[in-house]
Structure 1
Amino acid sequence: MRYQLLGRSGLRVSEVCLGTMTFGKEWGWGADKHESFKIFEAFADAGGNFVDTANRYTEGSSEKYVGEFIENDRDRWVLSTKYTLKDRNDDLNFAGNHRKNMMRSVTASLKRLNTEYIDLLWVHLWDNTTPVEEVMRGLDDLVSRGLVHYIGISDTPAWIVSQANTIADFRGWNAFAAIQFEYSLLQRTPERDLLPMAKALDLAVTPWGAIGGGALTGKYLRGEKGRVPDHSTRRNEHSSIIAQTVVDVAAELGVTPAQVAINWTRHRDQVMIPIIGASKEQQLKDSLGCLELKLPEEAIQKLNAVSQIELGFPHEFLKSDGVKEEAFGGLFEKLDNHRG
């Protein structure tokens, strides 16, 4: 296991993060406490120190399990959890990004985790209601009180994240050090704005869904059962072609499809820390095999080609040769070092 800095911070985290949405069976799938501990122990034995949970995962069981698993060596672990999602029905203030829910949710998470502090608190997703200033000031207050050490944001448009960190920098508040969103061979749309923004703002990226809910392991090509419904975007004709390519590349390299899919998300010129989860110990050990794999350039190009997306406007427009010539008159060709 190697380690990376968490974006613009000095925090050292393992090069993959353990996702614990599978810890608990309250949602009708996942791992019981015994199997969850085996998964956790396998991650620890591999040198991992970065673990991710959330207030709503398995109705609180995930946080409770994680809290128990790390209690004997709490300071070794970089513990991240999230707030935003509702954890009481029929009460409007038990959900959202606003200060009241933020403070209440963090207090409840600290109790379930049985810890005095959270290393990294994520805004789980944007509610399109709460002012950015309210969110950033509330998060800054949590850091000032020592209840939270670092902050991150998940599943939010790039322009909002940019606005939030710009305001935080201007006000002298703590800013986001990391961002989390879905990114895989089946979901490459973050390449339009989210990934370039993260690189420009020095945010660590912790992508979830690297194996597409299991679709990129080839299990559905083999007719196996799973949680991804038929004809979803992860199991349509195009997705099946991508999954088959992953399977073929894995066979050529003598590794597993999951290792290929996870490793592909890491091949970018910026900090990429995939979140890997499992409902069985062996699944986690298989995913950890990605750390020993280096994808050949030929394999990367093959995967890129089969999963390619259109970047859309204005990206396609700006990079077209016609626009460059008409607008800039060959300027870029005359510059030795330009940003493209």
Structure 2
Amino acid sequence: MSLTLDTYRLLGRSGLRVSPLALGTATFGTAWGWGADQDEARRLFDHYVEQGGNFIDTANVYTDGNSERMLATFTRGRRESLVLATKYTSLRRPGDPNARGSSRKSLFASVEASLRQLDTDYIDLLYLHVWDEATPVDEILRGLDDLVRQGKVLYVGVCNAPAWQVSRMQTMAELRGWSPLAALQIEYNLIERGGERDLVPMARELGLGVVPYSPLAGGVLTGKYRREDLATADVAADDGTRRNFNLALGTVTDRNLHIADVVGEVATELGRSPAQVGLAWTLRNPDVTAPILGARTMAQLTDNLGALDVDLTAAQLARLDAVSAIDLGYPHALLNSDHARKVTAGDLRLAARR
């Protein structure tokens, strides 16, 4: 079934309506060596919005703050019709121990800086960007709730955090009457499916909308890498190219290239691009709200948006699932085994929960 950017989805248990593909803006600006300049970024933004897209993802530190500053210009005159998400916790000022992390001081200073950079009165969705293991959960939640009550933030979410901490946060928020988490942003794609162990089931149970970043695994699923690239995997990550960044991160491996090969085979069968197939696999997951696109050029964005009307057959989905399958580990593998079902349920037949 075909989708469109204006076929909106609810974000978690909230009433917030967002497009099924979000526009990521970590590529807005060239400060990191491989992004889009302001004119190209403007074209990407305008095209996405003109197609009905309303979900924009940024962060306070993306391209050294240039991403938020560009969005201030791009959103002028249509701010209210957009769902603008940004993040806090990443280092903003080297040498200042409180210009980073999840503390109340870091949170309030970061939000004020983002409001100035975005030239807006409020942030639709604010994420805790990276779990820091130092700030008490109640301090984080109370700070987020205070910002919501002040009207500076409308909804809150979390990225890159252990499932047990996120579930603890959601439970505490509900018990104390604080603003609940509406969204969970995680890396999720055919290469990185670790979130299926705990994070995705937790989000389903506790009412968080899953917003995957890097749905094409840094471009590996597009087929741009080859086995020959494995020989240069000792390159520096900071040489100004996305290719060497991925090589240094270890994203380009024989396993991952094999997954990309199967994606390419399915793409050939459908007459589609590998990027469209990789995105379509994520889009068709009922637990996913909106994968984040990270296009640098209009050609990439146009191609990525084509994933909205890709129909994967059951057989193709099965092939993609099989080649990218992960070990669920204990206790999930045990609980999903035929043995566990037999000893706990016997011949009981129970309809699935709606």
Distance (Å, rounded) in 2 between the aligned partners of 1:228 and 1:254: 30
Query: Deviation per CA, 1:164-223, whole angstroms, max 9, x where unpaired?
Result: 010000000001001000000110110000010011112111101111111100011397
Distance (Å, rounded) in 1 between the aligned partners of 2:247 and 2:159: 27
Map 1:171-320 → 2, pairs under 5 A = 171-221=176-226, 226-230=243-247, 233-320=250-337
| Counterpart position of 2:93 | 88
Secondary structure in structure 1 of the residue aligned to 2:108: helix
Task: Say how many residue pairs are matched.
Answer: 336
Amino acid at match of 1:159: W
| Counterpart position of 2:233 | none
User: Is residue 49 of structure 2 the alignment partner of residue 32 of structure 1?
Assistant: no
Query: Deviation per CA, 1:266-300, whole angstroms, max 9, x where unpaired?
Result: 22232431000111111111100011112111111
Q: Give the counterpart of 2:174 among 165, 169, 185.
A: 169
Secondary structure in structure 2 of the residue aligned to 1:130: coil
Deviation at 1:41, TM superposition (A): 1.0
Deviation at 1:46, TM superposition (A): 1.3
| Counterpart position of 2:347 | 333
User: Is residue 161 of structure 2 the alignment partner of residue 156 of structure 1?
Assistant: yes
Amino acid at match of 2:273: T
Secondary structure in structure 2 of the residue aligned to 1:72: coil
Distance (Å, rounded) in 2 between the aligned partners of 1:260 and 1:164: 35
Contact 2:190 2:320 in 1 (8 A): yes
Contact 1:332 1:338 in 2 (8 A): no
Secondary structure in structure 1 of the residue aligned to 2:127: strand
| Counterpart position of 1:108 | 113
Q: Give the counterpart of 2:52 among 38, 47, 55.
A: 47
Amino acid at match of 2:169: A
Query: Deviation per CA, 1:21-43, whole angstroms, max 9, x where unpaired?
Result: 00011111101100100110111
Deviation at 1:231, TM superposition (A): 7.5
Percent identity (aligned): 47
Secondary structure in structure 1 of the residue aligned to 2:125: strand
Runs (4+) off by over 3 Å: 222-225, 227-233, 323-326
Contact 1:179 1:203 in 2 (8 A): yes
Deviation at 1:333, TM superposition (A): 2.3
Secondary structure in structure 2 of the residue aligned to 1:287: helix
Distance (Å, rounded) in 1 between the aligned partners of 2:123 and 2:23: 16
Distance (Å, rounded) in 2 between the aligned partners of 1:232 and 1:220: 14
| Counterpart position of 2:131 | 126
Q: In the superposition, relative to structure 1, how do residues 35 and 302 fare at CA in structure 2: closer, same or farther (>3 Å)? A: same
Contact 1:213 1:228 in 2 (8 A): no
Contact 1:183 1:190 in 2 (8 A): yes
Contact 1:20 1:51 in 2 (8 A): yes
Deviation at 1:230, TM superposition (A): 3.7
Q: In the superposition, relative to structure 1, how do residues 30 and 297 fare at CA in structure 2: closer, same or farther (>3 Å)? A: same
Distance (Å, rounded) in 1 between the aligned partners of 2:183 and 2:173: 14
Instruction: State the superposition RMSD in angstroms.
Output: 1.6
Distance (Å, rounded) in 2 between the aligned partners of 1:230 and 1:216: 14
Q: In the superposition, relative to structure 1, how do residues 338 and 128 fare at CA in structure 2: closer, same or farther (>3 Å)? A: same
| Counterpart position of 2:237 | none
- Unaligned regions of 5+ residues in structure 2, if any? 230-241
Contact 2:282 2:291 in 1 (8 A): yes
Q: In the superposition, relative to structure 1, how do residues 332 and 10 fare at CA in structure 2: closer, same or farther (>3 Å)? A: farther
Deviation at 1:303, TM superposition (A): 0.4
Distance (Å, rounded) in 1 between the aligned partners of 2:39 and 2:249: 32
Distance (Å, rounded) in 1 between the aligned partners of 2:210 and 2:339: 34
Distance (Å, rounded) in 2 between the aligned partners of 1:299 and 1:237: 21
